[in-house]
Chains A and B, each alone.
Chain A
C-alpha cells in the first residue's frame, strides 16, 4: 500500500472555519481555569468549561494535588489488577459510591472510556439496550460495541419508552440508558420515572450523571439525591472532570456488578490507574462540596438565571433546560459560525455545537458560568450579548 494516498485521504472539512477565518475548537489556553483565563496572551471570560462549581483552579485543590504528588509520586505505572491498587484509589472509589448513593464503584481513566466499555462486558446478541436518542457519544459508542439489539427512544419521552419496554420479553437482559443532564441543551431526564419503568419491566437502568454529580441534589450528590432514589438497582456512571474538577470516570452500582467489572471489563483491567495526585484532587473537591455546596450552588444557579434572562432580553433564542447550562439555539449553520466568532472577538470563550454533535438545524452555542466567576464578570457577559444582539438585529 502506498502511504501517501492514505494520508491525503484523511480530510477534515474546514470549509466553515475557512469561510469565517475562525476556528472555535482547540483554543490555546495558557492559564488555569481562573477568571479570566488566558488564550494566546489575551484575557478571556470562560463560559466553555464544565467547571460548574468553579473549583478547577481552587488553591485548596491545587495544594492537595501537590501534596499527593510529593507523597505518592506521579503514577502507578501499571494497572490496579496487576501492579496493585493504591489505598487512595480504593478509598476514593468507596467515597464516591457513598457520595453518589450507590453500593460500590470503580474509577476508569475517563468517563468516555467507562461508558464506551461497560456494555461490552454486560450485553450480547441476545440482549436489548434501549437508549435515549440524544444520549452522549460515549454511550452510543458503548452500546454499539456490545453487538446487541439497540432501540433508541424519543428524547425524554416516557410514553415512547414504555411502548418500547412493553415488547422486550424475548430478550435475556434489557438495559435502559440515559443521561441525567443532557449537556448541549441542559434538559434533565425524568430519571425517577425511568427507574420506575425499569422496575416494572425488569430492565436495568443505566444513568450517566456526568453533568449532574456535584450539581444536582440538595447537597450536590447528583441525580440519585435529586430524585430521592435509595437502593438504586441500576448502573451509575459519572465524569470526575466536570463539577468535580479533575479527571476520570466513575462507575457505580451493586457490589456484585462492580466486582464482575473488575475481572471482566478489558478497558478497566488493562488501563493504568489515574495518577494519585488526580485522586487527591477529587478528594479535595468532595471536601469542599461537603462544606460549601449551598454557597457554591447558589452562585452557580444565580449566574445561570442571569445569563438565561439576559440572553432572552437581548433577543436570543435559548434552551429552557433545568440545568446550569444555557444554550443559544441557532438554526442556520452560517449564523451559528458568525455568532460564535462575534462572541470570541469579545473575548468570551463558549462552545459551539454543530452536526454531528447535534442534529442538523439544531446548532447550539453553550454557555456555562462557573461559581468562580464574579457577578461583575457575568454582568460584562450580558453587556457583550446585548451589543451583539443589537448588531445581529441591525444585520
Chain B
C-alpha cells in the first residue's frame, strides 16, 4: 500500500460520521470533511501510530488538503518506507 493510500485509510478510520464523500489527495480537510483543530490532532496522533513516528505539531501547521499531509510526511520523515 502506498504512503498516500495509508494516509487516506488512516483519515477514514479517524473521523466521526457515516456519510462522507470519497477521500482523495485533493479532498479539502476542513470544507469537505469538517476537520477542525481537534480532528486534525486526532489524525496526527493516528498517523504517529500508523507510521510509528513522533510528529511535531508545528510541522503540520497550514495543512489544507490530504495531499499536503502526504507531502509533509515525505518532507519531514523521508525515511518512511513503503511496506
Interface, chain A (partner B; CB < 8 A): 131, 133-134, 140, 150-155, 157, 160, 164, 356, 359-362
Tally of A-B residue pairs with Cβ under 8 A? 34
Interface, chain B (partner A; CB < 8 A): 14-17, 30-31, 34, 36, 38-39, 41-42, 45
The reply to whether B31 and A360 form a contact with Cβ atoms under 8 Å apart is yes
The reply to whether A151 and B31 form a contact with Cβ atoms under 8 Å apart is no
Given A356-B36, A361-B34, the answer on whether A155 and B41 have CB atoms closer than 8 Å is: no
B contact residues around A153 at 8 Å (CB): 42
Report the minimal beta-carbon distance from A216 to chain B, rounded to whole angstroms: 23
Report the minimal beta-carbon distance from B16 to chain A, rounded to whole angstroms: 5
B contact residues around A155 at 8 Å (CB): 16
B contact residues around A164 at 8 Å (CB): 45
Among candidates B30, B34, B42, residue contacting A154 with C-beta atoms closer than 8 Å: B42
| 6 shortest interchain CB distances as A-B pairs | A359-B34, A152-B38, A360-B34, A133-B38, A155-B16, A152-B42
User: In the complex, what distance in Å separates the CA atom of A131 from the CA atom of B31?
Assistant: 23
A contact residues around B36 at 8 Å (CB): 356, 359
B contact residues around A359 at 8 Å (CB): 34, 36, 39
The reply to whether B30 and A151 form a contact with Cβ atoms under 8 Å apart is no
The reply to whether B45 and A151 form a contact with Cβ atoms under 8 Å apart is yes
The reply to whether A154 and B16 form a contact with Cβ atoms under 8 Å apart is yes
A contact residues around B30 at 8 Å (CB): 360
Report the minimal beta-carbon distance from A91 to chain B, rounded to whole angstroms: 39
Report the minimal beta-carbon distance from B35 to chain A, rounded to whole angstroms: 8
Residue of B nearest to A359 (CB): B34
Residue of B nearest to A134 (CB): B16
User: In the complex, what distance in Å separates the CA atom of A160 from the CA atom of B13?
Assistant: 10
User: In the complex, what distance in Å separates the CA atom of A131 from the CA atom of B41?
Assistant: 11
B contact residues around A140 at 8 Å (CB): 38
The reply to whether B34 and A150 form a contact with Cβ atoms under 8 Å apart is no
User: In the complex, what distance in Å separates the CA atom of A354 from the CA atom of B6?
Assistant: 32
- 22 A-B residue contacts at CB 8 Å? A133-B16, A133-B38, A133-B42, A140-B38, A150-B41, A151-B42, A152-B38, A152-B41, A152-B42, A154-B15, A154-B42, A155-B16, A157-B16, A164-B45, A356-B36, A359-B34, A359-B36, A359-B39, A360-B30, A360-B31, A360-B34, A361-B34
B contact residues around A150 at 8 Å (CB): 41
